[in-house]
Structure 1
Amino acid sequence: MTWISKSTTAIGALLLVHACYSAQEHAALQAIKMTTTELPADISIEVLVATLVLSLGLVLSTATLRPVKWHVWAGTMEREGRHAFAQDTTDEKDTVTNPFGMLETRPSFVDIRRHKADFAKWVKPNPQ
């Protein structure tokens, strides 16, 4: 996160905490007076502004998105190699040099009938 996104997130969080405290204080004062009034407009506006500023700070701190199309991602991986997307990932298995390696090394389907026949042969004693 850059300092801009960190400071924007901190300011948004501080505004949201202040708005929540103001709303709680307003509710406590209304409980003492035994009356019910609506929340003042300035507190509602502060909540909305704080939410927007906090959301902006969180959006600014996100990493660059990867391409959605598989052929764009595969082309980037083949041209630039393993380090093309390494800065925004924490999983080492997620960045491989061959984008189709996962398809080439996956296990094939299990033949249940063959396993059942093998098990039946193993369970039956062999008459010799």
Structure 2
Amino acid sequence: MAIAATTINILGIVFLSHAVYSAYEHSLLPSSSLPTPPSSILPHIIDPKINLPLDITLETLFSVFLLCVGVVLSSPELKPIQWNVWAGRLERSKEARVVKEVGVGGGNPYAVLEERPGFLDIRGRRKEFAGWVREGER
């Protein structure tokens, strides 16, 4: 799939480069320097001063479409939105358990937040309290 995406991206770049060059060459023609009639739809500021032929416009749109498809196909696999699913996958992978340098690797990246000093462990406190209550009843 990566080879096809690279090929599509290269084709898109070639077509876009040709369309840009064709538009530049068309702008240099003496016939293109004639004033164009103002558009009734577009505001004066964004009204084009040169009318491009339809083939250049279509080639530009086609090349942009090819580039969009190529970029989407060559993008990496999406990660899950839920962080616990992602962290679970990360904890199960062998590469993630290897500590490469300080702060990199070692399983769940959020484990340090749950093990920090001063972090209130509600479940642990609840178990301690339940044990204390059971001891008091005896």
Is residue 35 from structure 1 mapped to residue 34 from structure 2 by the alignment? Answer: yes
What secondary structure, in the 3-state scheme, does the structure 1 residue paired with 2:64 have? helix
Q: 1:81 to 1:50 in 2, by over 3 A?
A: same
Structure 2 counterpart of 1:15, one-letter code: F
Q: 1:66 to 1:47 in 2, by over 3 A?
A: same
User: What fraction of aligned residue pairs are identical, expressed as a percent?
Assistant: 39
Structure 2 counterpart of 1:8, one-letter code: I
Residue 91 of structure 2 aligns with which residue? 78
State TM-score, norm by structure 1. 0.64
Deviation at 1:99, TM superposition (A): 3.4
What is the rounded CA distance, in whole Å, between the counterparts of 1:13 and 1:107 in structure 2?
54
Q: 1:103 to 1:27 in 2, by over 3 A?
A: same
What is the rounded CA distance, in whole Å, between the counterparts of 1:107 and 1:41 in structure 2?
68
Deviation at 1:80, TM superposition (A): 3.0
State TM-score, norm by structure 2. 0.59
Unaligned 5+ residue runs, structure 2?
A: 37-50, 97-102, 119-138
Deviation at 1:5, TM superposition (A): 1.1
Q: What are the Cα deviations for residues 41-88 of structure 1, in whole angstroms up to 9, with x where unaligned?
A: 1111110100010111111111111111011112212333435xxxxx
Higher fraction of helix: 1
Residue 65 of structure 1 aligns with which residue? 78
Unaligned 5+ residue runs, structure 1?
A: 84-91, 109-128
Structure 2 counterpart of 1:35, one-letter code: L
What is the rounded CA distance, in whole Å, between the counterparts of 2:93 and 2:86 in structure 1?
10
Q: 1:19 to 1:68 in 2, by over 3 A?
A: same
